[in-house]
Amino acid sequence: MRKRELEDLAISFIVLLLIFSDFRPRLMLFVAPALFTAFVLHELAHRQVARHYGYVAYYKRWDFGIAVALVLGMLSKLLTGSSWVFAAVGAVYIYAPYQYWQDRRSEGMIALAGPLTNILVAITAIAILKVVSMNPYAWLLLSYMAHVNAWLAFFNLLPFPPLDGFKVFKWNPGYWAVLEGLSFMLYHV
């Protein structure tokens, strides 16, 4: 991982951590692992699938998106008492130096990789919560993990550019519908 890519991931992660923890330091302990699985694994999944298809791929933060996320989070906290999360803070950029055509299937699979990772983590966390007896701190940690992953999957699957859902919908509306519906359901479990 390049130094710039690591820095961009870290900045994006910290901004999302502030917002997802509702700007409450005590919650950061529980939100950080959830956000790691939801945000970092999501972006790494995009990157790895892109590389599998032969693309050059790296994460890059989106400074305007970071500013919008932070301002919306702070304003909503001030006005309503809780933070509204705008999670478009960066993306994995892909390109194929020797490919001069668009490969809709590989682009769809790359876009699908992030939200699918979130859905799998959310399902795993929910299953553990339902089956295993644990102390309240572990329960809270897994609860956040399920909630944050389901929400990020749902948000990223919205069918609007530049979100993943737009690319998945263009490639395969059936896959998009199943996964968007599943992520919505998981968010409300």
- The residues annotated with a catalytic role in the active site are 43
b/e map 83-117, b = 16+ CB within 10 Å: bebbbbbbbbebebeeeeeeeeebbbbbbbbbbbb
Describe the chain by its helix, strand, coil percentages, rounded to 5: 70, 5, 20
Residue 143 structure tokens: 């609860």
CA distance 168 to 189: 24
CA distance 27 to 29: 5
Fill in the DSSP letter of residue 2: -
CA distance 62 to 109: 22
Residue 151 to residues 48, 93, 100, 186, Cα–Cα distance (Å) = 22, 22, 35, 8
Gyration radius (Cα) of the chain, Å: 17
Alpha helices (H) in 53-91, listed in sequence order: 63-80
